[in-house]
Structure 1
Amino acid sequence: MEKSDAATIEIAETSRERKGKLPFSGAPAAALGRVKAARGHNRGIGIFDLILRICAAVTTLAAAVAMATAEETLPFFTQFFQFDAGYDDMPTFSFFVIAMAIVTGYLFLSVPFSIVCIIRPIATGPRMLLMLFDTMMLTLATSASAAAAAIVYLAHNGNSSANWLAICQLYSDFCQKVSGAAVAGFVGVGVLILLVLASAIAMRRH
């Protein structure tokens, strides 16, 4: 009798131990680990986003300033005739300056939202807002840079079919500045593309 009682007690204790061990007892820990990993991943993307945002703002600001200061007056002029070239002589270049100024202002204003994404890496609202406006600014910067590049190409090479003469042989300094501004604009476009991709990756991790 003593042996059967001991065996019964051992079986009862074993069954209680098995009942106490839930099959999904490790699920909360695994879910918590995934949340921590996603948070660390998104925080890294947020830091990368902040660095890219500052670089893009500096680049677009440099493009706007370079274009806005592009001006040259030819040395051979008289009291009544002056030959000069400025960015405001061409509406396309004026549009480029305005567009890059808007993009630069937005990028600087968006820095606090980027910092919020670093502090709260799981928050989807600020990230979605940045992704939306980054895409809009990317479209604006791309259109302005492409239009400016087309005019710069005509300034360098002209168009014989339309009887447009190349002016860069005369206005070399002016052409150098507007060419540099167009290149800086496309660099800004490239950084904005990286910003949109970083936001998309961060949103995918949520």
Structure 2
Amino acid sequence: METDRSGETAINIIPGTKANGKGKAPVVVSSTKAVEQPKGGLKKGIAICDFLLRLCAIGAALGATATMGTTAETLPFFTQFLQFQAQYNDIPAFQFFVIANAIVAGYLLLSLPFSIICIIRPYATAPRLLLVIFDTVMAGLTIASASASASIVYLAHYGNPNTNWLAICQQFGDFCRSVSGAVVGSFIAGAILMVIIVLSAFALKRS
């Protein structure tokens, strides 16, 4: 019996020897090959990065949602009967922003168990493929809402003389700073989702 380096074990029988007291030796060939299971270190590392990036994206999306949803400013005047107030729900683009980022944050939270499955089973393709599909949809939703809100923020900062839209950030400074920060947070969440998609696609390619 010999064992080679590849893990294959073979039983060699010398011709002409007797077995069980008979003249003919039974021809017995037994070969077993040890199948080496790939360790999957690279895929597991990608899955761990995926999980950590999802946590970061949750923080960015939740921060953007909370910041925009609580943004309001009232200008002080001599009388309480004459006040100017700016709120996020006065602008439909900001309302869409809050709803979209809340949906993205909820999805990312629900996707964490699937990301953990990819860590435990780095060669499982079904959960990773499912995540890639929904991550792409959520990345598009995040970037769309952030882009729509960014255009409103630009008008708030600089206005548009051709359409007689006045810049309001000189009066509502705190309001503009809050919505600007929320938009930046949403863009960060969208960028993280794009990185997650690229990592997942790379892991699927090497399956």
Band the TM-score falls in, shorter-chain normalisation = 0.7 to 0.9
Given the alignment of the two structures, is residue 138 of structure 1 paired with residue 167 of structure 2, yes or no?
no
Output the amino acid matched with 1:98: I
Given the alignment of the two structures, is residue 91 of structure 1 paired with residue 56 of structure 2, yes or no?
no
1:205 aligns to what? 206
User: Which shifted more, 87-96 or 74-83?
Assistant: 74-83
SS at the partner of 1:85? strand
Q: CA separation in 2, counterparts of 1:129 and 1:80?
A: 55
Which residues of 2 match residues 99-114 of structure 1 at below 5 A? 99-114=100-115
Unaligned runs of 5+ in 2: 1-14, 16-28
> Is the 1:152–1:178 contact (alpha carbons within 8 Å) kept by the matching residues of 2?
yes
What is the percent sequence identity of the aligned residues?
Answer: 52
Which residues of 2 match residues 28-107 of structure 1 at below 5 A? 32=36, 36-37=38-39, 39-76=40-77, 78-107=79-108
Provide runs of 4+ in structure 1 moved above 6 Å: none
SS at the partner of 2:73? strand
2:127 aligns to what? 126
Deviation at 1:77, TM superposition (A): 5.2
The structure where strand makes up a greater share of residues is 2
Deviation at 1:128, TM superposition (A): 0.4
Cα displacement string for residues 128-168 of structure 1 (whole angstroms, at most 9, x for unaligned residues): 00000000000100100000110000000000111100000
> Is the 1:59–1:185 contact (alpha carbons within 8 Å) kept by the matching residues of 2?
yes
The structure where helix makes up a greater share of residues is 1
TM-score, structure 1 as length reference: 0.83
What is the root-mean-square deviation of aligned Cα atoms in Å?
A: 2.0
Aligned residues: 181
Unaligned runs of 5+ in 1: 1-11, 13-19
Output the amino acid matched with 2:182: A
2:5 aligns to what? none
Q: Highest relative contact order (Cα 8 Å, sep 6+), 1 or 2?
A: 1
Q: CA separation in 1, counterparts of 2:79 and 2:43?
A: 63
